[in-house]
Amino acid sequence: METADAVVIGGGVIGTSIAYRLSEYRKVFLIEQGEIGAQTSGSCDKAIFLQSKKPGFPIKLAKASREIYENLEGELDTSVEFKKNGGMIVIESEAYMDSMKKFVKEREKAGIDVKLLDHKEVRAWQPGLSSDIAGASWCAEDAEVNPLLLTQAFAQAARRRGADIRTHTEVTDILCERGKVVGVQTTHGRIATETVINAAGPFAFRIAEMAGVGLTIMPRRGAVLITEKLDPLIHGNILCSQYIAAKHAAGDTGNVPPYGIGLSLGQTDSGNLLIGGSREFKGFDKSVGPDVLSGIAKHAVRIAPVLKDVNIIRSMAGFRPFTGDGLPVVDKAKEVEGFIIAAGHEGDGIALAPITGQLVASLVENKDDYNDLLKPLRLDRPQAV
């Protein structure tokens, strides 16, 4: 039987980031049932936003990850199209103004470089937006990255450090003896190991079940439209205040717009616009209906009329791993020694991938350097569903 110091399950942005960090010191296997980055991490937007996170711990965590991004391309020795070009949250109408003023004040207090722009300043900076826009919040520290390149870059860098990356290999069981992990069963044989990291994103609850560990993570579907290639049309990434309302709503009830639609707008280096998005609980069903797709398009055109005559070339859907309180679980399971969970990053996995790799490395090496960041991410925290 093959042996590994650690087996990482899941080849999304989280699993590859973990494999990269761990393979510096350990013999790591990364097991992915399909292709690297082919699930949520390949069906998402590209924003590394600080201002969209809640004040307090979520901002602290996002800042720690954002700092790692500063030197990540150098570390990974490749471009991942990381850009520090700021982010804007458009205030669609006066109805959102009071809540967005509060939003900006809270983030200023949390030490984020964010300011309120009036409608003239918004239009001067983003001429494609509607003249009806009431204003916007602007954060110079917000950034963006190409998630496809990022996930591949983590995997490549892990491989260079000696990680064994197995694609088209499904984990079918976690092998435990006397309350300890002893290996994993895959569709291509067994691997003996005393450390398993469950980084299976929206599927992580199934892996946890194999180890007899309770984990509630639900897939929260999101759809994104992709346009034809265009000349540069926007500056940085754009969200809207309705997006913030949908993001921070706990579920499908309450003050959530239909289909959880809120604008997210970003442009790739190759010129395609990514226009998002929606938030729905539909299990693992990827068949997004025309009502949702047209809802996203209409909402986007209302905010950015410049999009009216732009052609959509395709759409994609992914499953945000939803924990209920907007934070991932990064913790050792108490029930089974050697079983670590790093999943549930909901709509922030791209922003949080770099720090998640560091947190898991700290857990595996039994260090106490990240205790302040790990404590709120415990599996048994009260706020998790």
Ligand X SMILES: Cc1cc2nc3c(=O)[nH]c(=O)nc-3n(C[C@H](O)[C@H](O)[C@H](O)COP(=O)(O)OP(=O)(O)OC[C@H]3O[C@@H](n4cnc5c(N)ncnc54)[C@H](O)[C@@H]3O)c2cc1C
Q: Applying CB under 6 A, which residues contact ligand X?
A: 9-15, 31-34, 38-41, 43-47, 170-171, 199-203, 207, 222, 224, 276-277, 318, 320-321, 343, 345-351
Q: Closer to ligand X at the Cβ: 197 or 350?
A: 350
Residue 172: other Cβ atoms inside 10 A:
11
What's the min distance (Å) between Cβ of 131 and ligand X?
Answer: 27
What's the min distance (Å) between Cβ of 319 and ligand X?
Answer: 6
Per DSSP (E only), the strands in the chain are 2-3, 6-9, 28-31, 47-48, 87-91, 114-118, 135-139, 143-144, 164-166, 171-177, 180-186, 189-192, 196-198, 218-229, 237-240, 264-267, 272-276, 312-322, 329-332, 339-343
What's the min distance (Å) between Cβ of 206 and ligand X?
Answer: 6
What's the min distance (Å) between Cβ of 254 and ligand X?
Answer: 21
Q: Closer to ligand X at the Cβ: 45 or 92?
A: 45
Q: Closer to ligand X at the Cβ: 196 or 304?
A: 196
What's the min distance (Å) between Cβ of 119 and ligand X?
Answer: 25
Residue 229: other Cβ atoms inside 10 A:
12
Cα separation, 263 vs 241, in Å, equals 8
Structure tokens at 58: 């979520």
| End-to-end Cα, the chain, rounded Å | 38
Q: Closer to ligand X at the Cβ: 226 or 230?
A: 226
What's the min distance (Å) between Cβ of 269 and ligand X?
Answer: 16
Q: Closer to ligand X at the Cβ: 123 or 235?
A: 235
Q: Closer to ligand X at the Cβ: 134 or 146?
A: 146
What's the min distance (Å) between Cβ of 105 and ligand X?
Answer: 24
Cα separation, 363 vs 340, in Å, equals 8
**Distances in whole angstroms, Cα of residue 95 to Cα of each of 6, 92, 99, 130:** 52, 8, 8, 16
Residue of 220, 226, 182 lying closest to 201 (CA atoms): 220
Q: Closer to ligand X at the Cβ: 32 or 141?
A: 32
